[in-house]
Amino acid sequence: MSLIVSDRFSLIIGLGKTGLACAQYLALQGERFQVADSRQYPPFLDQLTSEQPDTPIHLGEFAHDLCLSASQIILSPGVSMREPALVAAAKAGIPIRSDVDVFAQAARSAGVPIVAITGSNAKSTVTSLVGQMAKTAGLNVAIGGNLGEPSVSLLANDVDLYVMELSSFQLESTTALGATVACVLNVSPDHMDRYDNLMAYHQAKHRVFQACKAVVINGDDALTNPLVPDTVTQTRFSLGDPDVGQFGVRKEGGEEWLVKGLQPIISVAKMAMSGRHNVANALAALALGQAVGLPMAAMIDTLTSFTGLPHRCERVASIGGVDYINDSKGTNVGATVAALEGLGPDLAGKIILIAGGVGKGADFSDLVEPLSRYGKQTLLIGEDAKHIEQVLAGKVEFSHATGMQEAISMAHRQAVSGDLVLLSPACASFDAYIGFEARGDHFAELVRALV
């Protein structure tokens, strides 16, 4: 005779967008669950109580007893595993999983391939690019994760391929991803207000490689190189001359080409995206697409039409021979360095950079070298402007601005034909805006008012 334990339940921690999606998914599966959030009025409280009025919801400080009573904890990415109640649950052997784990288990059961993409920068661009390549190839593809819809919201019976952007926060509690192909695009310091050091952040990113079948490696960034068994297929991309079967860049007939080994794929001039960083993004997408069998013709066709995503080195206007570029998604130092190094080499003039905001504990010293090469002036705004000043002082030209409007006015006065005004803040936006999108929209609005 077996005893059925009926009082066990899954505990969803966090009632943001991800938590609500998990609640909706578990309800559809007929599973028992409860929800907890440290806030007294989380953003999706009303929707959950309307949709599922009988679901127990616990608000305020996470209770040890509640966490220890759960059969499993599904953790939203905004909640740190260092919460005392979660530490106690982990010590007691309670499984702590991410929504990505729940998603991946269902996707694998359905036999649908998963492309898993993470990195400090460019993961949204590469995820969207691979997704568009799959659409061009005629596949029914679902794209999401940290980009767009939460993972579990994408689960459907008619999907041919999942292309997932995953953040370090999501990966912290992901234990069984098992992607068809996984990639860490690059690693540079970010979220140092959450992680003790770069190694801890690096380790979180590399959880994307758990039980994967193939990996794509950035040959120009040693921190992307995973420790995986020899049985796992490995493909490299690089902005240099590649080895046989790998992806890279080579000059042919006086122009640069994306190549696979000795085989030319597409000239850089024919790509719709511009900048060296986007050449690397295209190479990563080609390698990832190859790993899941996307036709080369469809991938090439996509590269000729895909212009990139909003707020990611997006050209807003050209005024008097000066280009104004919105890279508001540059929320960490690595992203801003990539933008400077991607746009700087092809300029006739120099870059006027608008930077600053919430630095998240970042070290801004990596900005000095590219600003020395490509920068004309750096205009500092926001909460951590003084912090950035301490790093730049005596090394590159900088000035302070009271906010975005003054920064654009100053840039407009200083720029001459051939220069480029770049919003790439190397910081989060929450000191002045609700998100990087609002910051980029404000920049674009003020630039267009100059015309």
Return d(Cα 369, Cα 338) in angstroms, integer.
12
With a CB cutoff of 8 Å and minimum separation 6, the contacts of 1 are none
Alpha helices in 92-219 (DSSP H): 99-109, 123-136, 168-172, 198-205
Supply φ then ψ for residue 422, to 5 degrees.
Answer: -120, 120
Return the structure tokens found at 196. Answer: 């003790």
- For the chain, give me the number of helices (H) and strands (E)? 15, 20
With a CB cutoff of 8 Å and minimum separation 6, the contacts of 22 are 12, 74, 76, 99, 102, 150, 152
b/e sequence 85-108, b meaning 16+ C-beta within 10 Å: bbeebeeeebebbbbbbbbbebbb
- The residues assigned a catalytic role are 123, 146, 191
CB 64 within 8 A of CB 92: no
CB 304 within 8 A of CB 271: yes
- Continuous segment of H or E residues that includes residue 26: helix 17-29
